Structure formats: C-alpha cells, structure tokens
Amino acid sequence: MLKKIFIALASIIAMPLILAIFTAKSYDVEREVVINQPNSIVFNYIKYLKNQDKFSKWTRMDPDMKKSYRGVDGSVGFVSAWDSQNPDVGKGEQEIIKVIEGEQVDFELRFLTPFEATAPAYMTTESVETDKTKVRWGFSGHMDYPMNLMLLFMDFEKIIGDDLQTGLNQLKVNLEEL
C-alpha cells in the first residue's frame, strides 16, 4: 500500500515536469496603432525613452517610482532605470540598443525585481499615408524550464498585449493633440 502511494505521489510530481519539457519556452507579443501624424513626428517622439513616461501603462501604474537616466536619450546606450515599491512594476532598466532612424528603436529590458529577466523589445514606425503612421510595439519573453509551464496557464500574450495596447492608445492621444 505504501508503495502505491509513493508511486502515485511521484507520478503527480513528475507529470508537470515532463509536460514542461514539451512546452514552449518563449513568447512574442506585438500590438499596433495608427496615429494621425507624419512618420517624422511620431518617430522623433518614440525614440526618446523619457517620453515613455507619458504613455506607458507601466510607468503610469506608479507615479511615485524613482527614475534615473544614463547617457543621451534617443541614442544607443541610453538607459532609463526605474525602482518601484509596486510589485507589478518592480525594479529594472531599459537600454536603447539599436536605432534605425525613422523606422525602429530596439530596447533591452532588464528586470531585477520581483523577478530577474532580460527581454528584447522594440518600437517601429511605418508611413501609411503622408500624415498617418503605423506604430508597432513588440516584446519577447523567455521562461526557462520548468517555469515555462506557466505559459500553459497564463496568457502572457493577452496580459502584456493589453498593456502594450493601452500604451499605444495613450501615445496616439498624446501625439494627435500636438
């Protein structure tokens, strides 16, 4: 009888670990919005990380967070760091790692608390018409085994995607008021 209980417990513990072997370890999220402004105006706004304070949902979640900056905003190497007591915001930094003028800004996000992770993100602009620009905001995440099992139970694409869309919608409002 004790042997059967042990086998049952071992099976219960082993099943999720085996399932995690076959579960994806990464995810990609992208959202977009069309802004009624020329590409030059939109790109020259989004390339500055300090401007994210005016539209990013995460920044607006804690207006009292401590912010610090290193480097020249809008250029490769610029770092925007944050430190918040809000566990949904945590502590980390974002660095501009690539700028393709008028087209794309690539970032590296480094989360320090409540968990440690490094993730790539980007924002792109594309002229739709002379006075309309499509902005895409994307993020990629990775979870090592066995934490990747959470990807089966949490819809990171929706959770993060909704936050990106909220930020893009605010960006649209901000830029169309110019």
Share of the chain above pLDDT 70, in %: 96
pTM, to two decimals: 0.85
What the block records as the tokens of 167 is 């930020």
Domain boundaries, the chain: 25-176
Per residue in 91-106, pLDDT tens? 999 999 999 999 999 9
- Upper half-sphere CA count for residue 151 (Cβ side, 13 Å): 19
Residue 127: pLDDT band (50, 70, 90) is very high
Report the pLDDT value the prediction gives residue 147, as an integer from 0 to 100: 75
**For residue 36, what pLDDT band results from cuts at 50, 70 and 90?**
very high
Of 1-10, 20-29, 169-178, give the range with the top mean pLDDT. Answer: 169-178
Q: Give CATH for domain 25-176.
A: 3.30.530.20
Helices (H), the chain: 2-21, 39-46, 57-60, 156-176
- Asked if 78 and 49 touch (Cβ cutoff 8 Å), the reply is yes
